[in-house]
Structure formats: structure tokens, C-alpha cells
Amino acid sequence: MSVIKELGKKVVHPVRYFPSRGERKRVSGARTLATGHRRVYFYHIRKTAGTSLNMAFMGLAGNGHDLNEALQKNDKWLIAEGYVFVRAIRHLIEEGFYFQGGSHIPAWRLSLPAGTFRVTCLRDPVERVLSHYRMLVHYRETGQDRASNEMLWLGETPSLGTFLDRIPKAHLLRQVAMFSERLDPVEAGDFVNSLEFVMHQSRFDADLERLGKLLALPLKPYRAKSYQNKVEVDDGDVARLREMMEPEYRMMGMLEGAG
């Protein structure tokens, strides 16, 4: 993101969201979590069941699927049944007037307010990248106009090898990049260990249940879209991918309770 664009957002967003500020502040101020925190923030890494986690929180206020769709169509904030939800907008996230927020914004770009319960969800590094690859192939095969800037990573004839040649390192190592600007797995691991709660996609339902008990919230699982389309991948490319993901496996090995 350019410096000019970032500075523009710092001016535009406070003005754009000012009319709703009072209502968001009033409604969000009525809730305190069982842990004493004022809000939950989710560091959302793509293809780690993050949308399902967002919907679980939104399910407290109604149908998680419907509210999540409404939030995406709305202005990145929503009030439902006394809960305030925000997404994607740095100004709204750092302002802190919400019950649950989340975004793909790297952790090192954010300054969260005190009293924020921070959570993330991780996934086996190879599985996550393969899921990302399958998603893009699915978009191309079905003619969906989504993630158009990432379609170049597939090449004219999609192959995992071409994808690995073209995907930027910060996207390939997204689980490290979320927590370290330098893509340092040790720095990323230290940050993850500082979070209030860490989930894993492979045990999502069990972790969600533990999270719900900790926060004294009746969180229930919702299922987001899954791209399990049959895509041929070369064993050699998968082996190469595993080597490329070594920094993420190193980070995972640092985590408290790893494995």
C-alpha cells in the first residue's frame, strides 16, 4: 500500500465513520467479557477457518451466515441484538468500539486498545497453501471474478509449480507475515505466544468450545465454503512446497502447547 493511500485513509475514515461513532460506543460499552476484556479481536489469516470463527461470534446475534453476508455488504460495521461487529477498517479496529472485530491487516500494522482479547487461528502450512491454490483454481474454473490480482500466480495452465514460482513470499508465508514484518519466524512465534488464545484449524470445533467456555459465550460452529475440488498436484511440487514452508513450521514449533 502506498504511503499516500495510507495517509488518505487516516483522514477519510475518521470522517466517514464519525456519524456512527456515538452509537457504536454506546452499544459496545454495555458489554464486558468474562475475562474482564472489553472486546475480542481476531487476526484473520486466509484459509485457516477464519470466516467460520467470525460467523461463530456473529451467531450470538442471529444467523451467523446471514449476518456475515450483511456485514460484507454493509460499511464494515454492524450492530445486531446489542452486539457491535467491525471488519477490515483499521480506524474502526483501533478505535475499539466493538464486541468482536477482525481483519487480514498484519498485527504489526495495528495498535489495539487496552482491554482487547486477541485470538488467531493457524493451520498446517502446506495444507493452507494447497487450500489457497485450490480456491484460485476453483475461481478460474467457475469463471468467478474474485481475487483477480492473484490469478496471475496460476499461469495460463494452472500448476502448483507455477503457483509457487509466482506467489509473493509474504503471501506464501502468511502465517509468519501476519506477525512479523521481517518474516522472522522467531519474532512471529513470540507474538503468537503473547496472544490470549490460539486456535488450530485441525481441531476447530474443540478449540471453539474451549474459547466459548473461557469467554462464557455460547459459541457454535458454522461452516464456511470449502474448496475440495480435485486438482492434480505433482508430488515433487508438494515436496518443494514443504521445504519452502520451513519458516512457518519453525514458528509452529515455538508455540506453547504445539502439537
Asked if residue 251 lies in contact with residue 188, where contact means CB atoms within 8 angstroms, the answer is yes
Digit-by-digit pLDDT tens for the chain (259 residues) are 565 666 567 668 889 999 999 999 999 999 999 999 999 999 999 999 999 999 999 999 999 999 999 998 888 999 999 999 999 999 999 999 999 999 999 999 999 999 999 999 999 999 999 999 999 999 998 888 888 899 999 988 889 999 999 999 999 999 999 999 999 999 999 999 999 999 999 999 999 999 999 999 999 999 876 665 678 899 999 999 999 999 999 999 999 865 4
What size, in residues, is the chain? 259
Q: Residue 42: which of 90, 129, 92, 104 has the closest Cα? A: 104
| Helical pair 18-28 and 3-16, crossing angle rounded to 10 deg | 70
Note the pTM of the prediction, 2 decimals. Answer: 0.93
Question: Alpha carbon of 254 to those of 27, 132, 134, 190: distances in Å?
Answer: 39, 24, 29, 8
**CA–CA separation, 98 and 38 (whole Å):** 8
